[in-house]
Structure 1
Amino acid sequence: MMAACVAPPGALAKKPAPAPAVEYYGDARPDAPELAARGSLPVGVRTVVIENKDQLDILNASASRPDPRYSRKLKLEVWYPGRLAPGEREHVMYTDVLGSGPGNPARPNTPFQFAGRAARDAAPLPAAAPARYPLVIVSHGYPGSRLQMSYLTENLASKGYVVVAIDHAESTRADKAGFPSTLLNRPLDDLFVLRSVARWAEAGSGHFLAGLVDTDSTALVGYSMGGYGVLNVVGAGLSADAVAFVPGGGLAVHQRGNPEYDARRDPRIKAVVAFAPWGGAGKIWDDAGLAGVRTPTLFIAGDQDDISGYKDGVLRLFQGLVHADRYLLTYRGARHNTAPNPPPPAAAAAGLEEFMAYAEPAWDSRRINNINQHFVTAFLGVTLKGQPLQSYLDLPPLPAGGTAGPDTAAWKGFPKRSAVGLELQHLPAQ
């Protein structure tokens, strides 16, 4: 006969903490590192559409028509510190799609919704004068969407940043088209968004961001192909081999040594976060191209990344940015999905491919999200705001042999024994 389970004295008097009415992506787990916590500011969110006219339509270029032009419409999601009206609360429903582009019957475009912790169209909250909020521009994977990293975008806005995430035309799950468009347009889209926000931020512009944003303190955040784009923006000029990937020479605008490319460097960009950036494992960049980056950079990747590569991919990029102060946060045992939100329920219901477009086999996505929030908060706090957060980045290495030991408790901000599976490397600029 099985013995009855008897609770210790006083145990029944303790009531479990009530579960939140709604669980939002980015909410802190009990083991979340310190800086993952949401900031003190309410968050507003708005959707904006901009149009970049007279751009090369590389997908329709040919020998007989080498320079077709078109306008690129970019849908943006803008998160910002907000001022809530009486009765207004931070709750929004985002609409995204599953799938791998139009015309794919195996993975059709299927809309789904998920909840966010932001107030739709809330009034902006001015920063304490004379300060303004630094700008963070976010670039998704291929395919992906502007909503792919809402756990991070909302979190940063609550800490005093204006965050603008881009739907890159011809590169989202809804409108995926040929890869040359992504290779050409990612850097150009990023810079066009920066120029657009700078105009909006001017006093008297009439835009809701007027007087709110400090574009002289801008960071670029890119995932996968977004990582490729942001590295090119800050000086990683493409190799001649990479330019030859696309017939017609359209990629020469991003080539190292091209005066047009060299003149495009924008000094307002003070920091880069590159999640699993694509391109290191191929011939996209030679050593001289990587040496062109001088912007502080935080790389985040899994050491089992089978899309961007690790030793021959992200690690090579990290080591090759010899003139930039840079960090590499590695998730041991993780593959490529170290950046996105957790798999939505709709993805799990749609089958393995849709689920694995978000999930990590050996890691809990919510755990990854919290760790990303922590390190990105520290890195951008130091590089954009001059906050005293460097000690969160100056961490002791893990023991030789690759196993986590008791010294992981010395990782500032991490609960004891919770830094297992992680490695943070730092290389200063030469």
Structure 2
Amino acid sequence: MSDSRDVNQVYDPFARGSFPAGTKSFEWNDATRDRSLPVDVWYPATDAHRGQDLAPETQDEFQPFALAPAVTQEAVRDGEAREGRFPLVIFSHGFGGVKTQSTFFCTHLASHGYVVAAMNHVGNTTLDMMRMATAPPPAGFIDTFMSDRPADASFVIDRMLVGDSGLAIDPSRIGISGHSFGGWTALNTAGRDPRIRAALPLAPAGGAAAAAPGEIPNALRDGLALDWDREVPTLYLVAELDTLLPLDGMRDLFVRTREPRRGIVLLNSDHFHFCDRVEQTHDMFKQIGPLISGSAGDPKATEQMTAAINGMKSSQDLAPGAHAYALNCGLGLAHMDAHVRDNRDAMRLLEGDLCALMAGRGIQVAEL
């Protein structure tokens, strides 16, 4: 890609990049599956948009889903794209999430010269799960989600590589990330799609421990093979006090994952520390989570999930969201730079003492 960054500049993946971030929205149809996916793309914009992605009066305002209040993100809607060929990162949202759940990370990557594409996993979005909570879920719904999600991710890679977004992608430089069920999706897709060079699962599902034992967590674990036939460098970023997907499950995933791998635990954090508006999202889920936990379709699992949610700390008693953003943006970017871009400075950073690095920023973490 064209890159005007000063080669003598000290490598700092925590700082916002030098490019303004743009964003566009698409609707792409996978005719082979009769499946239409809304997709958002973030990318490096031209200098004409400098500062517009950060200024409240010019940055993008959007609704995460119908009926939700409008929110902003650090990107310019339909900004003119910078010329060049760029690395690609796919992002997969969590169970009952949306494609814009983690714009803090997507826009950070775009400011550093990445193109990021995130799809709504239709059938498993926020509105879908709200509807499912009031009616019995269809038979085999979790198997459908497990089949659809990795196929969605690979389909979006296909569309990005043929230029449907209007952006030029380097096909040899592709990574994937995702949160919760999206972390499971990232791991699953990384194992089956040879175009992916690096994986960044955030508090992923698929471990042996879950808040609500039953059909869903067992299916997710059984459906996730991590003894891949090639190396895919993997960095786990997880929460110490994860209510929905406890730390023991993260350790189970980690030890099953083929090397090279590394895992970092954000101390005193919970499941939603990897989403936009951490405090608001966490406290909202603590309020409404018991109302929608019926979407699991298993009465016993619903009961245990509700009990776990009721036991969640309030956001004011947890690590601040700003700490999670710094961890996710800094180490997440460094992981992609090291293994998608072959950046030696990033490799050296990741080979060092990450606990000391984060402590120097006032952020407490531990090795997984």
Give me the TM-score of the superposition, normalised by structure 1. 0.66
Cα distance between partner residues in 2 of 1:364 and 1:199: 40
3-state SS of 1:175 partner: helix
The residue number in structure 2 matching 1:363 is 319
Q: Quote how far apart the aligned CAs of 1:140 are.
A: 0.3
Q: Which residue is equivalent to 1:296?
A: 233
Q: 1:306 to 1:364 in 2, by over 3 A?
A: same
What's 1:137 paired with? 90
Q: Deviations along 1:260-294, whole A, 9 cap, x unmatched?
A: xxxxx332100001011111124444699321263
Give the partner amino acid of 1:116. Answer: Q
**Contact 1:134–1:215 (CA<8 Å) still a contact in 2?**
yes
Taking structure 1 as reference, are residues 77 and 137 closer, same or farther at Cα in structure 2, changes over 3 Å only?
same
Question: 1:308: how far off?
Answer: 2.1
**What is aligned with 1:274?**
201
- Deviation for aligned residue 1:141: 0.4
**How big is each residue's C-alpha offset from its partner over 1:138-177, in whole Å with a ceiling of 9 and x where there is no partner?**
0000111111000000000000000001111011112335
Aligned to 1:416: 360
Secondary structure at the counterpart of residue 305 of structure 1: coil
Name the counterpart of 1:208.
166
1:348/1:303 Cα in 2 relative to 1: closer, same or farther (>3 Å)? Answer: closer
Match of 2:255 in 1: 319
1:364-406: CA deviations, max 9, x gaps? Answer: 11221111101011111100111121232123386xxxxxxxx
Match of 1:375 among 331, 336, 346: 331
Give TM-score, length-normalised by structure 2: 0.76
**Secondary structure in 2 matching 1:96:** coil
User: 2:77 is matched with which residue?
Assistant: 120
AA partner of residue 72 (structure 2):
A
Structure 2: which 5+ runs fail to align?
A: 1-10, 54-58, 209-216, 291-308
Between Structure 1 and Structure 2, which shows a larger proportion of helix residues? 2
Gaps of 5+ in 1: 1-32, 56-70, 98-108, 202-206, 236-264, 399-407, 426-430
One-letter amino acid matched to 2:233: P
CA distance in 2: counterparts of 1:75 and 1:184, whole angstroms: 18
**Does the C-alpha gap of structure 1 residues 271 and 174 become closer, same or farther in structure 2, counting only changes over 3 Å?**
same
CA–CA distance in 2 between the matches of 1:219 and 1:336?
22
More divergent stretch after superposition (389-398 vs 271-280):
389-398
Rounded Cα–Cα distance in structure 1 between residues aligned with 2:125 and 2:232: 27
Distance in structure 2 (CA, Å) of the matches to 1:149 and 1:346: 11
1:341 maps to what in 2? 276
1:172 corresponds to which of 125, 130, 155 = 125
C-alpha contact 1:341 1:358 (8 A) present in aligned 2: no
In the alignment, which residue of structure 2 is the partner of 1:219? Answer: 175
The 8 Å contact of residues 44 and 81 in structure 1, kept in 2 or not, is answered as yes
Maintained 8 Å contact 1:43/1:117: yes
2:62 maps to 94
Matched ranges for 1:10-409 at <5 A: 34-55=12-33, 71-85=34-48, 89-90=52-53, 91-97=59-65, 110-127=67-84, 132-176=85-129, 177=132, 178=137, 179-180=141-142, 181-200=144-163, 208-209=166-167, 212-235=168-191, 265-281=192-208, 282-283=217-218, 284-285=220-221, 289-292=225-228, 294-311=231-248, 313-321=249-257, 323-343=258-278, 352-353=287-288, 360=315, 361-387=317-343, 388-396=345-353, 408=356
- Measured at CA, do residues 75 and 423 of structure 1 come closer, stay the same or move farther in structure 2, by a change above 3 Å? same
Partners of 2:20 and 2:44 within 8 A in 1: yes
* Counterpart amino acid of residue 315 in structure 1: R
- SS at the partner of 2:326? helix
Aligned residue for 2:276, secondary structure, equals coil
Contact 1:221 1:274 in 2 (8 A): yes
Cα distance between partner residues in 1 of 2:279 and 2:262 = 30
Distance of 2:158 and 2:36 partners within structure 1: 15
Contact 2:272 2:282 in 1 (8 A): no
Q: 1:41 to 1:186 in 2, by over 3 A?
A: same
Deviation of residue 348 (structure 1)? 6.3
Change (3 A) 1:349 1:319: closer
- Matched letter for residue 96 of structure 1: P
Inter-partner Cα distance in structure 2 for 1:233 and 1:199: 19
Alignment RMSD: 3.1
Conserved? CA contact 1:44–1:82, under 8 Å: yes
CA distance in 2, matches of 1:189, 1:120: 24
Which is greater in Rg? 1
Contact 1:218/1:384 (CA < 8 Å) preserved in 2? yes
Question: Using the alignment, how far apart are the partners of 2:154 and 2:224 within structure 1?
Answer: 23
Count of residues in Structure 1 that have an aligned counterpart in Structure 2: 311
Change in CA separation of 1:113 and 1:287 when aligned onto 2, cut-off 3 Å: closer
Q: Could you tell me how far 1:84 is from its partner in structure 2? A: 5.0
Retained in 2: the 8 A contact 1:278–1:307? no
Match of 1:25 in 2: none
